[in-house]
Amino acid sequence: MSDTAAASESFHGHAHHAAPPPEGVAVRHDWELAEVRAIYSMPLLELVHRAQTVHRAVFQENKVQLCSLLSIKTGGCPEDCGYCPQAARYKTGVKAEKLMAVPEVLSAAQKARSAGATRFCMGAAWREVKDGPQFDSVLEMVRGVRALGMEACATLGMLSESQAKRLKEAGLSAYNHNLDTSPEHYGDIISTRVYDDRLRTLGRVRDAGISVCCGGIIGMGESVDDRCNLLRTLANQDHHPESVPVNALVAVEGTPLAEQPRVETVDMVRTIATARILMPQSMVRLSAGRQQMNEEAQLLCMMAGANSLFFGEKLLTTGNPEYTQDMALLEKAGIRPLEPRQEG
């Protein structure tokens, strides 16, 4: 079997990694910070045009993937991520809850599927996965979501090699583990783990044959160089993440970043467009912070290369645009939801 055929069989997502990039589209893993900064700082309309040109060459259909994200275990996390309302040490009003029951999660997945979602993401507020009954329940959730014909994604914290393999065996399509920010800015946001912890988990996910969902958050007080270095770190991995969520900070009262100003649309568009140019075959996901954006801003992000949305009332513990609003926006713009990928 060829490498391309093997990649096609093992990948469950909608990115085009299994096929060679179209002529004229460069896939690189050796970006320098100055190059990334030069792209990010281009005149905005020129930057969006370049990103849109790359986007149309790779993703020829005018479609976006709809993803649904459910917090299957909320609050009580021992980490100190400065942006996160689920950290136990911050008084944010988020109540710690136990892991949801499998039937409850699969009922939510079924509703998301009926609403048009092709990817169902499950997030647990853990520092790391613990072997035992809870992890066994997560494996059962993964199997159940896949049985519904959906991609199954999970974000559970740090993973061991054996846990990654078990998730793969259960059918997990993708694992989300964001780098959050640049290596240089990381220590200002989180002190309870180091950057290499995140990179090691990503390596275990990749080695297990699970597609990687990895992005970051802008608006946490980082510099433009930090923003560009995050994208550079993602793009210089041996394999680009199949999925790159771009989040705008949702400042939550009670967290250390509560007073950060709202991310400007232009900054979000620049980040998405640069991600599209650096990682042309990845699904770039417009993620947290969308509730603070008007319709025109969201459409500009899609023009800049975002081809996936999280929809539903909540994105973990923060608000997200209503489903009906999302569908009305896509219909007005003539953008169609991506259908489930036929496997086998």
Q: What is the 3-state secondary structure (H, E, C) of 114-169?
A: HCCCCEEEEEECCCECCCCHHHHHHHHHHHHHHHCCCEEEEECCECCHHHHHHHHH
Candidates 227, 270, 285, 290; catalytic one: 285
Candidates 50, 67, 84, 290; catalytic one: 84
Candidates 121, 214, 228, 301; catalytic one: 121
Q: Is 227 a catalytic residue?
A: no
Q: Which residues belong to the annotated binding site?
A: 77, 81, 84, 121, 153, 213, 285
Q: Is 84 a catalytic residue?
A: yes
Q: Is 77 a catalytic residue?
A: yes
Candidates 50, 67, 119, 153; catalytic one: 153
Q: Is 81 a catalytic residue?
A: yes
Candidates 67, 77, 214, 228; catalytic one: 77
Candidates 81, 214, 228, 301; catalytic one: 81
Q: Is 228 a catalytic residue?
A: no
Candidates 67, 119, 198, 213; catalytic one: 213
Q: Which residues belong to the annotated binding site for [4Fe-4S] cluster?
A: 77, 81, 84
Q: Which residues belong to the annotated binding site for [2Fe-2S] cluster?
A: 121, 153, 213, 285
- Residues identified as active-site: 77, 81, 84, 121, 153, 213, 285
